[in-house]
Structure 1
Amino acid sequence: MFRIWRRWRTWQKVMFSCCFIMLIGSCIAAIIIGMTLKNAADSMYEALPERKESLRSTIEPLETSPVNPIHNRQSNNSTSVPVIKPLTKDAQPDVSNSEPFTMLLMGVDERAHDSGRSDTLIMASVNPKQGSAVIVHIPRDTRTELAGLKKLDKINHAYAYGGTAMTVATVEQLFEIPIHYYIKTNMEGFKAVIDELGGIEVHNQIPFETDGHQFALGDIKLSGEQSLAYVRMRKQDPKGDFGRMDRQSLVLRALAQRAASTDGVVRLGAIIDVLKQHTRTNLAFEDWISLAAKHVSSVNQIEKTTLTGSSQRIAGIYYWKVSKQERLRIHNLLSNNLVPNLDK
């Protein structure tokens, strides 16, 4: 090797040295980025406690066969009241092997001197091998029994009473579908990420004013604080909470597009710092890698729906009343997408 080096001309040595230094630099950068992401994933990780048969409730059962946490296989032990099997670490799907899974996305509004409420609830059923996903928006005022309390209340109050664990268990109970993963972020984190990205742009469909901010009709640019006011408003929206959910989806799409841009990549370190502080999930680092490397680009069939019902006032309090038939519709949508495609 030394003899070859001596025979090279000066420009060849310079070129080789530059390429070698760039290669070493790239390897070091990759290691640093990997360690940073691993540290971030570890900081955000928060396991869910094992759910027990406390999911047995007094709300009307859907009269479906109990759902196995993986692959939607029917249980051999049928009961008059469906009980979701306890989820343990061993029962989790293997996302690295593209097994289907469910996820609950939670946007928590935590304010001073308030334990907070999960005002944004989105349930997703993902089947990577089929390239399909079902996304269900759950209205915050949905009236259901809070898991473990045997109390009928708004579903977003589950977080106030029992945090992430009770919220997850309550949604599992409502649809009789196990939830494998969750991602929770509070509104301060939502606001901070948008500010780190330099704001987002959305197409606003109704002009309104709220919390000292004016939102004109058409294309508008939003800061983090403006985005927060934009997604919180619902009383001035003709569609009420459903209009608010539409605006949430609009902002989330704009945020995802902005994060995937060059500016998002440049600000990756600052964004990670925000997520470490304001986001919690039971996705481990290896799960994040599998999701990013295999599943994000493979899912191209997405079915979106909203839990429908009717408005109802009880003792002067507004609720969203959901029928057994609607719960069964959502159950079937989610569970059918968990059936593995054995041909793939």
Structure 2
Amino acid sequence: MRSDKQIEKKQRIKWLKRLSLILGLLLFLIFGIIAGYYANEVREFLTDLNEETPEELRDTSKQDDSLRDLHPISFLILGLDAEGEGDTRRSDSIMVATVNPGKESTKILSIPRDTLITLPNSNEQEKFNAIYPIDGMTGLIDFVEDYLTIPISFYVTLNFEGLVDLVDAVGGITVNSPLSFTVQDSDETADAIVIEEGIQDLNGEEALGYARMRKQDPRGDFGRQERQREVIEAVVDELLSFNSVTNLTPILNAIRPNLQTNMSGQQMMTVASNYRDAAKNIESVELSGAAEYVYFPSYGHDLYVWNPYEESLDEARSTLREHLELDPSSEENSADEINN
């Protein structure tokens, strides 16, 4: 009797082991199929992001050595507004990010779009956000490199209108609003979006309104820049969560038409895997300055502009150069330094 029970117990254990093995193989096959499907989808997605890059900016292979050796890199990040006449877009948000994997930190400088500058080719005065529609991405990168005396490794453009689909695809985001306000939605319905002061969950439409409102913020463009950075960081947090992995297809579909970069697919994967820790510590580099109204002959009237204090601009330049491990006091040949 006892022997029969032992035999039965051994058979049951043997059967459970076989069942576990079968289930394990099934799970392995299922995850393999899913991984293969997503790998192909991700590969196509990464290719699409590079599709509209200007020809002169396509070859970024000179950055491969820097990425492989984990050197600091820099990004020019543009938030683009709605298309205007002739399919031109002005840069609604202009940010420069330096990423240092050794220090495990990222620094972000926001350049106010109303910053007064002199166009290099015509010597005419303009606002910073006019460079992109006038000289394109190549001209903007060249100008930013000269303006901040740092090299730009890569660029990324984000259509803020695409935030609606992206935020909805990740299931919404959580923000901590410093003030209460109402703002129109993407259909221009007045006061359609209500933002309360404090911590709250936002859907796509609400996140877009939260990121773009400026007139009701006492800090003006600076307050909006902070909220835009907060939204971007919240979206990144959601994208890195497990729920986003299981909801990959709608996320990729939301990003695909709204994001553009000159990074290759392999470079994106390298940064995502090897520079990840640097994204956990994001610091803002502040610019101080003063606002005024300046007469623009090309427009025939005065326009609101913002001028950074020279001491503040120099300090920002030194901070970014030091973070990129360049000589903070040397501002010559900056475009070549990061590759050496």
C-alpha distance 284-18 of structure 1, shift in aligned 2 (>3 A): same
Counterpart for residue 214 of structure 1: 194
**295-304 or 123-132, larger mean C-alpha shift:** 295-304
Are residues 1:176 and 2:162 paired? no
Residue identity (%): 27
Distance 1:22 1:258 in 2: 26
* Residue identity opposite 1:21 in structure 2: L
Distance 1:36 1:299 in 2: 25
Are residues 1:329 and 2:315 paired? yes
Are residues 1:27 and 2:41 paired? no
Counterpart for residue 54 of structure 1: none
Distance 2:102 2:256 in 1: 30
C-alpha distance 256-88 of structure 1, shift in aligned 2 (>3 A): closer
C-alpha distance 123-274 of structure 1, shift in aligned 2 (>3 A): same
C-alpha distance 267-27 of structure 1, shift in aligned 2 (>3 A): closer
Counterpart for residue 226 of structure 2: 246
Check conservation: 1:147, 1:166, Cα contact below 8 A: no
Distance 2:215 2:134 in 1: 25
Question: What SS does the aligned partner of 1:297 have?
Answer: helix
1:47 is displaced (CA, Å) by: 4.0
User: What is the correspondence of 1:140-151 to structure 2 with a 5 Å cutoff?
Assistant: 140-151=113-124
1:133-187 alpha-carbon deviations (Å, 9 max, x no partner)? 3211111111113454443211111122233223222211211211111111112
Counterpart for residue 80 of structure 2: 108
Q: Which has the higher helix share?
A: 2
User: What is the correspondence of 1:50-129 to structure 2 with a 5 Å cutoff?
Assistant: 50=56, 89-90=61-62, 94-111=66-83, 113=85, 115-129=88-102
1:9 is displaced (CA, Å) by: 5.3
Are residues 1:136 and 2:109 paired? yes
Counterpart for residue 44 of structure 1: 49
TM-score (norm 2): 0.79
Check conservation: 2:100, 2:278, Cα contact below 8 A: no
Q: Which has the larger radius of gyration?
A: 2
Are residues 1:294 and 2:286 paired? no
Distance 2:174 2:81 in 1: 22
Are residues 1:339 and 2:325 paired? yes
Question: What SS does the aligned partner of 2:158 have?
Answer: strand
* Residue identity opposite 1:226 in structure 2: E
* Residue identity opposite 2:30 in structure 1: G
**In the alignment, which of 305, 312, 315 is matched to residue 319 of structure 1?**
305
C-alpha distance 293-91 of structure 1, shift in aligned 2 (>3 A): closer
C-alpha distance 93-322 of structure 1, shift in aligned 2 (>3 A): farther
C-alpha distance 149-196 of structure 1, shift in aligned 2 (>3 A): farther
Counterpart for residue 62 of structure 1: none
Are residues 1:200 and 2:173 paired? yes
Check conservation: 2:115, 2:307, Cα contact below 8 A: yes
Q: Give the paired residue count.
A: 298
1:272-314 alpha-carbon deviations (Å, 9 max, x no partner)? 1121111100111111211121111245554311222111210
* Residue identity opposite 2:103 in structure 1: Q
